[in-house]
Homo-oligomer: A and B are copies of this chain.
Amino acid sequence: MRLATLLLAACLLPAQGVAAETRIPPSALDTAAQLRERALADGTAWQVLESLTTEIGPRLAGSEADARAVAWAQAKLRELGYDKVWIEPVTFPTWERRGESAEVLGAHAQPLVVTALGGSPGGTVEGEVVRFESLEALRAAPEGSLAGKIAFVDQPMERAHDGSNYGKAGPVRSRGPSEAIRKGAVGFLMRSLGTTRHRVVNTGLTRFEEGLEPIPSAAVALPDADQLARLLRRGPVRVRLALDCGWTGADYTSHNVIGEITGREASEEVVLIGGHLDSWDLGTGAVDDASGIAITMAAGHLIGQLPQRPRRTIRVVAFANEEQGLIGAREYARRHSGEVANHVIGAESDFGAGRIYGFDASAPESAQAAVRDIAAALAPLGIEYMPGEGGPGPDIIPLATIGGAWAWLGQDGSRYFDLHHNADDTIDQVDPADLAQNVAAYTVFAWLAAEAEGGFGSAARAMQGANE
């Protein structure tokens, strides 16, 4: 999941208009109850998760594994009985991590566990560390005051169930390096944007503002951040940061991979669910986002197992390169911008594999009853209807920005930032029962949205802001 997603969420309510009441046929609700129970007992998502994380492993956008993942996703959708499977190209610049290390120099010489931020240039820098308790404190430092020094933003990230912690601490990663450059720093270190006390480090994309000369920028494991703080209480600390990484200068073409369970009546009307296929490189991307891929591929598969196809089409999208800027999702929205009204509603699973606790959807008055029906069908899974609480998943944002309706199936992210973007993001950390609960929720949601008579408010509006 990328930064800023959650902050954007509340703003993206589609245009409302007068329309006939959307309704869900009672027979569809009966089927939903059966699908819910079937999904809870079904092992498909676990098998998909195991397959992707084992056979492909880490799949950094633009890496050799990216192409393998695209081939894997097509094969898996076919194996799961999808009616149509295709790919759509997505082109972007490539960033590579080749090596990284950091060490305290001098009387307390010792290594630090670090990882380069995505987008960081390579290079070896050495300098005195200046610690800031927050990004605000760095911003408040006098211009030029960090000349020849390494800025260290030691801002903690609290544990939270809803991702609000990421919204608060995230700007340290996205904005911190540029702020440090403005003050004259030669390198940037930050307390890892995570909640784990283990010595794994959360990477993630940073951006350097136009006109600034990028500097080597890395995150430090929490125990190492605290170690730096302890050392700094004893006196000046010099650190050498050596990163071998960077943008290669070459473009890469990956693909959004798309599978459909084709609707029996209104095949051009699409309920879109999905996740993103790429991951960061340190773990095997189990919670970010093989789980989302697995949950939604399994949901479509379960619906495809019914005696007849749903009224509308269920489209599962495995988005390319979410991690470096929703690049696949933006391309999807661009390519399908003429079909927004036919994208009846969209939901992405991209916040791990914790249990879903809340449901919300953008919907005009005319679809409120249908949304409540869906919420009622989710309630036996322990999911509460929380109007006004949710927002679109990251890869749904570009579509929502041009008028697509969205649903939010809010996952418990309490443990998400123990794993997010770090080496511990492996299948070991996923609970199969929680994963199955997610599948049940997505299956029920997608099925009912596909069976609904009437829409959820999608209507094309001018392309804007899709560059999030």
Contacts and interface: CB of A to CB of B under 8 A. Distances in A.
A102 to B, nearest CB: 13
B110 A424 contact: no
A56 interface: yes
A111 interface: yes
A429 B227 contact: no
B108 A426 contact: no
A227 B428 CA distance: 10
Contact of A110 (B57, B198, B222, B429): B57
Interface string A93-136: 00000000000100111110100000000000000000000000
Copies of this chain held together in the complex: 2
A396 B424 CA distance: 38
Nearest to A200: B199
B54 A223 contact: no
B111 A58 contact: yes
A428 B226 contact: yes
A284 B110 contact: yes
Interface in A387-444: 423-424, 426-429
A55 interface: yes
Nearest to A425: B199
Interface residues of A, number: 36
A210 interface: no
A234 B56 CA distance: 13
A65 interface: yes
Contacts of A234: 54-55
Interface in A48-77: 50, 54-58, 64-65, 68
Given A222-B428, A223-B427, 10 more contacts: A50-B230, A54-B234, A55-B231, A57-B109, A58-B111, A65-B109, A65-B110, A200-B200, A226-B428, A227-B426
24 contacts: A50-B230, A54-B227, A54-B231, A54-B234, A55-B107, A55-B108, A55-B231, A55-B234, A56-B108, A56-B110, A57-B104, A57-B110, A57-B227, A58-B110, A64-B109, A110-B284, A113-B423, A196-B198, A199-B424, A199-B426, A200-B200, A223-B426, A223-B428, A227-B426
